[in-house]
């Protein structure tokens, strides 16, 4: 099933989840390393467009055609020079093919965690290495697993339906309630979630409902380091946040890598 299609694509930009300093970080890295840039899991262009506005040529690849269509709508509103710096492709980060090599390849906002098996993780990283310029960099980020949070959400209570947030539908203007339930598979390091979107009219009636399954595989620090080493990368830095502070448990895992 396509990730982030339908409502989950339409409402993606309305969700409050963001990581402080992320946009500025990627703009700075892009300006330092130069063009061209490839963003894997580019989504609705939340980071891709600011990077392009800052002067970089950037290619965005995403599995979801719905997400790419939203990006295209945003691009149409940009000035001609910025539009020409943006290139979009529908594809899978495990097996994409481009003729050119990139100075910077990024996988922002935990998109790598949608790769659910070790075999596919290795395929993705090896494919990235093939597309990386000799002096290029890979930057990817993951959340650092909080064991205390996982432990507190095991069992029946974690799978109960909970309200995540309330949004405004960007087309109808109606209120949208977002519900979710979470289960953990510790053997396979999987987080399985079901998101439920309910569009509500003024009279309180639910006029539309969509169920969206979401699955990610969390990674531990040295597991990720071993994967990168195994696939031909050298670790240049590991940050715990987008202020470039050293890694710490429970923060981000922001990996900056080059060819070994």
Contacts 24+ apart (CB under 8 A), 100-103: 100/36, 100/131, 101/131, 101/132, 101/133, 101/134, 101/136, 102/36, 102/37, 102/38, 102/59, 102/131, 102/132, 102/133, 102/136, 103/33, 103/34, 103/35, 103/36, 103/37, 103/133, 103/135, 103/136, 103/137
Q: Splitting the chain (260 residues) into consecutive groups of 10 residues, what average pLDDT does each group show?
A: 65 77 97 98 96 98 95 98 98 98 98 97 98 98 88 68 87 90 90 91 89 93 98 98 96 98
Give residue 3's pLDDT.
58
Q: Show the tokens assigned to 198.
A: 């309910």
Give residue 1's pLDDT.
37
Assess whether 134 and 208 both reside in one domain.
no
Assess whether 30 and 54 both reside in one domain.
yes
Assess whether 231 and 120 both reside in one domain.
yes
- Distance CA(60)–CA(71), nearest Å, equals 10
Give residue 245's pLDDT.
98
Tell me the per-residue pLDDT of 132-188, one tens digit each, with 9 for 90 and over: 999 999 999 999 998 887 777 776 556 788 888 888 888 888 999 999 988 888 899
Assess whether 101 and 91 both reside in one domain.
yes
Give residue 155's pLDDT.
64
* Residue 204 is assigned to a structural domain of this protein: yes
Assess whether 136 and 201 both reside in one domain.
no
Report helix, strand or coil for 67: helix
Look at the alpha carbons of 10, 14, 19, 24 in this order and tell me if their dihedral is positive or negative: positive
Assess whether 70 and 198 both reside in one domain.
no
* Residue 2 is assigned to a structural domain of this protein: no
Assess whether 77 and 92 both reside in one domain.
yes
């Amino acid at each position: 099933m396509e990730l982030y299609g339908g409502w989950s694509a339409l409402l993606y930009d309305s969700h409050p989840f963001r990581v402080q300093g992320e946009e500025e970080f990627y703009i700075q890295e892009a300006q330092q390393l130069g063009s061209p840039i490839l963003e894997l899991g580019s989504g609705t262009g939340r980071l891709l467009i600011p990077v392009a506005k800052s002067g970089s040529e950037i290619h965005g690849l995403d599995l979801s055609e719905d997400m790419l269509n939203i990006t295209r709508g945003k691009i149409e509103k940009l000035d001609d020079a910025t539009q020409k710096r943006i290139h979009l492709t529908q594809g899978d980060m495990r097996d994409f093919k481009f003729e050119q090599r990139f100075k910077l390849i990024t996988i922002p906002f935990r998109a790598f965690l949608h790769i659910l098996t070790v075999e596919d993780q290795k395929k993705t990283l090896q494919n990235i290495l093939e597309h990386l310029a000799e002096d290029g960099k890979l930057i990817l980020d993951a959340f650092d697993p909080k064991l205390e949070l996982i432990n507190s959400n095991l069992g029946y209570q974690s799978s109960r339906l909970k309200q995540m947030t309330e949004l405004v539908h960007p087309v109808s203007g109606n209120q949208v309630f977002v519900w979710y339930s979470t289960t953990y598979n510790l053997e396979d390091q999987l987080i399985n979630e079901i998101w439920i979107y309910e569009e509500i009219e003024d009279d309180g009636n639910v006029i539309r409902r969509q169920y969206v399954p979401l699955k990610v595989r969390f990674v531990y620090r040295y597991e990720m380091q071993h994967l990168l080493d195994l696939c031909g990368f050298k670790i240049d830095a590991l940050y715990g946040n987008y202020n470039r502070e050293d890694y710490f448990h429970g923060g981000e895992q922001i990996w900056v890598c080059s060819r070994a």
